[in-house]
Amino acid sequence: MSARFDCTSCGAPLVLRAEGVSDSLACEHCGAVLDARDPRHQILARYRAKLGRAPWLPIGARGTLRGEKLEVIGRQTRAVRYSGVIYQWNEYLLWNPYKGFRWLVESNGHWNLLKTVETKVKER
Ligand SMILES: [Zn+2]
């Protein structure tokens, strides 16, 4: 399910995807992070919107991957510095209300599909 409302900070039209499951929603127009569970959608944090490279997959895109119908409901760009070199990748959060979440990770044009492990990992 999804709900439409205007950003509490800048008034831009927003779509809350995975309603009832999402805790927060970031406005791509102004960088505000809004409370998805609060019907007034109060502002939790403000970030200056950074315009980077356009994402491969826009929020709201739908498709079938390995037989599962999935919708892109989130995206983050992550990076790590190792030996003075910055390595960067993009993580897309995919959602199906009957299947749950998947992560589609893109790094330099290479793609990996990940699923969160449900069981605890034993420490040695
Ligand atoms: Zn906004």
Does the pLDDT at position 29 exceed 80?
yes
pLDDT digits (tens, 9 = 90+) for 111-123: 999 988 778 777 7
120 and 64 part of one domain = yes
Q: What percent of the chain has pLDDT over 90?
A: 63
- At CB < 8 A and 24+ separation, what contacts does 104-111 make? 104/57, 104/65, 106/56
pLDDT at 50: 58
122 and 101 part of one domain = yes
pLDDT at 53: 65
77 and 20 part of one domain = no
Does the pLDDT at position 49 exceed 60?
no
Give the burial class of 80: count Cβ atoms within 10 A of its Cβ; 0-12 exposed, 13-18 middle, 19 or more buried. Answer: exposed
pLDDT at 37: 93
66 and 94 part of one domain = yes
CA of 24 to the centre of ligand 1 (A): 13
CA of 36 to the centre of ligand 1 (A): 13
pLDDT at 52: 60
CATH of the domain at 14: 2.20.28
CA of 116 to the centre of ligand 1 (A): 30
CATH of the domain at 97: 2.30.30
pLDDT at 48: 67
CA of 79 to the centre of ligand 1 (A): 25
11 and 22 part of one domain = yes
21 and 47 part of one domain = yes
State the residue range of the domain holding 9.
1-51
CA of 9 to the centre of ligand 1 (A): 5
How many CB atoms within 10 Å of residue 75? 18
What does the pLDDT average to over 17-40?
A: 90
Q: Report which DSSP code applies to 84.
A: T
